[in-house]
Amino acid sequence: TMPFSVYLQQVDPDLAGLLSAVADASVKLSDAVRNAPLRNLTGAMDTTNVQGEIVQKLDDYSNQVLMDYCKASVACAGYLSEENEGVTTMNETGSLVIAVDPLDGSSNIDIAAPIGTIFAIWKRKSVAGPILESDFLQKGDECIAAGYVLYGSATMLMLSVGKGVQLFALNSSTATYMSVNSNVQLPSIGKIYSMNQGNLSKFEQAAKRFVAHCTETDKDTSRPYSIRYIGSMVGDMYRTFLKGGVFLYPAYEGETKGKLRLLYECIPMSFLAEQAGGMGTNGKERILSLQPTGLHERCAIVIGSSALVDLYLSFSK
Ligand code: AHG
Ligand code: MN
Ligand code: MN
């Protein structure tokens, strides 16, 4: 099987350099995650982030590591993170910008459950010099690469540079990623739905109708469907990519937005989903068509097997 470094030889050199940096950072993070209880990397910091959320020690550490590796990648011009309020200039002459969720699934850290890192990459819009907010306010359709790393019972890197989706597994003995699937296909149908159903009373009508459909008994369509919810988007999406189904964090009643962040959660996952033959919507529109207006903007998301996303859309009308 092909090492990740060999796979990168077919990728544009600037992008390959940044992807290699992100992969190297994730190898370091995978090791930190697996030893977190022994390295004082469990538990919370005394600060909150720009979202007003409690920052875990591992959130902060992951952000520091990613910043260091991205800065060392000369093609990386700018960095946006869930953990930083504004954008950070990395290399003024670089051509690329990266938006990251350094540590996704923070509530899983202290219970040794699956967590991950999510990222999306664009070409910068400004020509050179300090990076601007507008360099990041680009649609998902303009992404040139997106991916995530899952720190689960194995460490998996799922990546797309716009030519389908490739999956790599980390060999922890050699600290190298190896290709395990060069053409990931998200099944078009599925029998699993994944959401925080405890919040159902807060969600829009379409979500309530969708859950009513999923929980109804109907032999012909194998209903009721099963619910699976890990509580980290990376974990829930990895299952969705492999087994089919749908992951939802729907819009709250009377709002268009949900909990998850557009630039570093919803866009990268939707880019991967579409590249694998699936769909990603906010309940009304394709996520990749949305024009971002804020760095930490939130977005509703319904993502996964096309049959189930279409079904949700039919309840949205
Ligand atoms: P993060 O840890 O980066 O803040 O993201 C957590 C996200 C996502 O991973 C997960 O799907 C969702 O929040 C879980 O939210 P609930 O606890 O509301 O179910
Ligand atoms: Mn997250
Ligand atoms: Mn996070």
Q: What is the pLDDT of residues 163-195, one digit of tens each?
A: 999 999 999 999 999 999 999 999 999 999 999
Q: What is the mean pLDDT of the chain?
A: 97
Q: What is the pLDDT of residue 46?
A: 86
**Residues with Cβ within 8 Å of residue 270, at least 6 apart in sequence:** 140, 280, 286, 287, 288, 301, 303
**Residues with Cβ within 8 Å of residue 4, at least 6 apart in sequence:** 20, 23, 157, 168, 176, 177, 178, 179
Nearest ligand to the C-alpha of residue 66? 3
Nearest ligand to the C-alpha of residue 63? 3
> Are 289 and 174 a contacting pair, CB within 8 Å?
no
252, two tokens? 């709250």
Assess whether pLDDT exceeds 90 at residue 317. Answer: no
- Say how many Å lie between the CA of residue 106 and the centre of ligand 1: 7
Assess whether pLDDT exceeds 90 at residue 50. Answer: no
- Say how many Å lie between the CA of residue 76 and the centre of ligand 1: 27
**Which amino acids bring their CB within 6 angstroms of ligand 1?**
82, 101, 104-107, 196, 231-233, 259
Over residues 95-150, the pLDDT tens digits come to 999 999 999 999 999 999 999 999 999 999 999 999 999 999 999 999 999 999 99
- Say how many Å lie between the CA of residue 51 and the centre of ligand 3: 10
Estimate to the nearest angstrom the gap between the alpha carbon of 47 and the chain centroid. Answer: 24
Nearest ligand to the C-alpha of residue 252? 1
Q: Which of 233, 237, 264 to mutate to test the pocket of ligand 1 (most atoms within 8 A of CB)?
A: 233
By alpha-carbon position, which residue is closest to atom 18 of ligand 1? 196
Residues around ligand 2, an ion, CB closer than 5 A: 101, 104
Residues around ligand 3, an ion, CB closer than 5 A: 82, 101, 103-104
> Are 74 and 94 a contacting pair, CB within 8 Å?
yes
Average pLDDT over residues 241-246: 98
- Say how many Å lie between the CA of residue 233 and the centre of ligand 1: 6
Assess whether pLDDT exceeds 90 at residue 230. Answer: yes
- Say how many Å lie between the CA of residue 216 and the centre of ligand 2: 31
Q: Which of 54, 227, 249 to mutate to test the pocket of ligand 1 (most atoms within 8 A of CB)?
A: 249
Assess whether pLDDT exceeds 80 at residue 51. Answer: no
Q: Which of 260, 261, 263, 302 to mutate to test the pocket of ligand 1 (most atoms within 8 A of CB)?
A: 260
178, two tokens? 């190896």
Which of 84, 86, 27 lies closest to 55 in space, CA to CA?
84
By alpha-carbon position, which residue is closest to atom 3 of ligand 1? 104
Assess whether pLDDT exceeds 80 at residue 81. Answer: yes
> Are 287 and 280 a contacting pair, CB within 8 Å?
yes
Q: What is the pLDDT of residue 274?
A: 99
- Using a pLDDT cut of 70, give the percent of the chain over it: 100
d(CA 99, CA 188): 28
Q: What is the pLDDT of residue 53?
A: 85
- Say how many Å lie between the CA of residue 82 and the centre of ligand 3: 6
